[in-house]
């Protein structure tokens, strides 16, 4: 297993705070694998490994679609002039939003970074698979293929077709939690997780997957908070051969 010391803190850990729409409590990188608490950083991570204006493919595994489009024209109008920016510049990129009573707000949120990606780079996407719980706006990409959760273990390696590389694999751990009146709980077995992430590991190792982004979403409503999401992150990262622990 790879030592956690080889990993790199791109956004140093700020504590187990609320993530919300904008707050980035950490971003950690181990080679082509990135771990974060807030999914808004994912688009920046992809840019470090994939030329998004060239042919590539996307696999999104998440409870949410992350494709909010209510102000898409507004967000696109205020994108950075260049994508060649640091993570701090990306996270700190803001604009003045009319009528919100605030001076400025970040352009990139946890629920819009993917709709921005589609608006900017759809013409370069070979394949696009979504495995979600259909929570959020439908993706603004007409050729999206929707996959059932229970088909992932048998088919993930088939879907991640080597001929369609490089692949981006974008995972939010809230996808693996069920929700009822008593709160969230893990809805899949360890064998289910092991099958999926072992197949992902093989696709990373052979270069089919160029970058994988993994988000904890440590929200009480979606994963039960920091403890359950951290435990799951540690487990799936261990399957990928990476030792990961928050301070």
117-135: average pLDDT: 98
> Exposure pattern of 183-209 as b/e (b: 16+ CB <10 Å)?
ebebebeeebbebbbbbbbebbeeebb
Q: Is 244 domain-assigned?
A: no
Q: Is residue 163 part of a domain?
A: yes
pLDDT at residue 4 above 50?
no
Q: Binning pLDDT at 50, 70 and 90, where does residue 3 land? A: very low
Whether 172 is covered by a domain: the verdict is yes
> Which residues does 232 contact at the CB level (< 8 Å), separation at least 6?
173, 176, 186, 216, 223
195-241 residue pLDDT tens: 999 999 999 999 999 999 999 999 999 999 999 999 999 999 999 99
- Examine the pLDDT at 61 and tell me if it is beyond 80: yes
In a domain, 49, yes or no: yes
Three-class secondary structure assignment of 175-236: HHEEEECCEEEECCCHHHHHHHHHHHHHHHHCCCEEEEEEECCCCCCCCCCHHHHHHHHHHH
The pair phi, psi for residue 235, each rounded to 5°, is -70, -50
Name the residue with tokens 């990409």.
141
**For the whole prediction, is pTM greater than 0.75?**
yes
Give the H/E segment covering residue 159.
helix 152-159
Measured CA to CA, the distance from residue 32 to residue 238 in angstroms comes to: 15
Is 90 part of a structural domain of the chain? yes
User: Residue 245 falls within a domain, yes or no?
Assistant: no
Is residue 118 very low, low, confident or very high in pLDDT (cuts 50, 70, 90)?
very high
CATH number at residue 40: 3.40.800
Residue 135 to residue 137: CA distance in whole angstroms? 7
pLDDT confidence of residue 135: 97
Concatenating the DSSP letter of every residue in 86-155 gives: -HHHHHT-EEPPTTSSSS-EES--TTTHHHHHHHHHGGGEEEEEEES--BSSPPS-TT-EE--GGGHHHH
Torsion sign over Cα 161, 164, 165, 170: negative
Residue 247 lies in a domain: no
Residue 5, pLDDT > 60, answer no
Is residue 29 in some structural domain? yes
Per cent of the chain over pLDDT 70 is 96
Domain count, the chain: 1
Residue 103, pLDDT > 80, answer no
Q: Does the pLDDT value for residue 156 go beyond 50?
A: yes
In this prediction, residue 183 carries a pLDDT of 82
pLDDT value at residue 2: 42
Domain limits at 69?
4-239
């Amino acid at each position: 297993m790879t030592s956690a010391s080889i990993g790199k803190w791109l956004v140093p850990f700020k504590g187990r705070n609320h993530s919300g729409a904008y707050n980035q409590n950490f971003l950690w990188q181990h080679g082509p694998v990135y771990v974060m608490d807030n999914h808004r950083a994912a688009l920046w991570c992809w840019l470090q490994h994939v030329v998004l204006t060239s042919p590539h493919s996307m696999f999104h595994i998440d409870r949410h679609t992350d494709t909010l489009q209510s102000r898409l024209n507004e967000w696109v109008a205020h994108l950075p002039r260049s994508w060649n920016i640091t993570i701090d510049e990306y996270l700190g990129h803001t604009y003045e939003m009319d009528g919100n009573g605030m001076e400025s707000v970040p352009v990139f949120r946890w629920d819009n970074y993917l709709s921005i990606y589609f608006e900017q780079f759809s013409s370069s996407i070979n394949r696009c698979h979504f495995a979600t719980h259909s929570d959020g706006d439908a993706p603004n990409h007409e050729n999206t293929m929707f996959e059932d959760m229970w088909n992932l273990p048998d088919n993930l390696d088939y879907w991640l077709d080597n001929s369609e590389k490089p692949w981006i694999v974008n995972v939010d751990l809230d996808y693996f939690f069920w929700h009822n009146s008593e709160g969230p709980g893990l809805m899949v077995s360890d064998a289910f997780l092991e099958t999926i992430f072992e197949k992902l590991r093989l696709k990373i190792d052979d270069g089919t997957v160029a970058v994988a982004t993994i988000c904890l979403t440590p929200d009480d409503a979606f994963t039960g908070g920091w403890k359950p999401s951290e435990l799951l992150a540690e487990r799936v990262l261990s399957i990928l051969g990476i030792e990961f622990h928050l301070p």
